[in-house]
Amino acid sequence: MSGWVAKRFWKEARAVTRAQGHGVDLDDRRLRTPAKADLIVPTRALAEAIAVEWNTQQDTITPATMPMTRAANVTIDRVSRERAAVAAMLAGYGGSDLLCYRATHPEGLVQRQAAAWDPLLDWAQAAFSVRLRVTTGVMPVAQEAAALDRLHREVSLLDDWALTAAHDLICLSGSLVIGLAALHRHAPAQTLWQASRVDEIWQEEQWGADDEACAMAERKQSDFLDAMRFHDLSRTVG
């Protein structure tokens, strides 16, 4: 992350309440974003989580171990300034949603996809009056313009903090429906992540697990769950 000092210079990070919201002080210095804006978050809980990340840093700052800080920075420096473009990009996943592309064989995989994905499409229909079309193979299926517009409106209604969380939930899973299901707490985040990996899990069962692929999957799962935690902390009163 550009703009970050490399070495720890503070003794204690602590959450503080300010007129605009909640921030973090590093000793007597206000924590700022890479773009030099005050890091102000909507809840005390999120500020405290960010303070914990800074307190657990050792001599050298490791941004990869600070997901709440990174997400707050992205929200303030980027999403708040480009929210229409971010919302449009995320809504675009509805046109190629993972859940709409099914295998033709083997039958076991076909059944597993249907068991995991059909209930999510049913939920989207009940929640948003949208029924996405399903196809087999890799050829694109055209979704109804009205359905895509409805999903775009739903994404546009998210506040900046939820939109930041939605970015990782949707992009990591490859599914707008899964991302929205997570934000609406339709199912536990872990369950939804597993639903996004039906194909990969099937392949692992047939051919064995690849160490590099497993490591990457674990990183993506961690990022997915961190995004959900960021969303929840941005709404926790405390």
Q: What is the mean pLDDT of residues 97-109?
A: 96
Q: Is 19 exposed, middle or buried (0-12, 13-18, 19+ CB in 10 A)?
A: exposed
Cite the residue boundaries of each domain of the chain with CATH code 1.10.3580.10: 84-233
pTM: 0.93
Mean pLDDT score across all residues of the chain: 94
Give residues with Cβ within 8 angstroms of 3, minimum separation 6.
33, 34, 35, 36
The three-state DSSP-derived secondary structure of 131-175 is: CCCCEECCCCCCCCHHHHHHHHHHHHCCCHHHHHHHHHHHHHHCC
pLDDT band at 232 (very low <50, low <70, confident <90, very high): very high
CATH superfamily label, 84-233 = ATP12 ATPase (1.10.3580.10)
Whether omega for the bond prior to residue 63 falls within 30 degrees of 0, making it cis, is no
Cite the residue boundaries of each domain of the chain with CATH code 3.30.2180.10: 13-79
Q: Say if residue 84's pLDDT is above 90.
A: yes
Rounded distance between C-alpha atoms, residue 168 and residue 75, angstroms: 12
Q: What is the mean pLDDT of residues 84-89?
A: 98
CATH fold of the domain at 13-79: ATP12-like (3.30.2180)
Q: Say if residue 6's pLDDT is above 80.
A: no
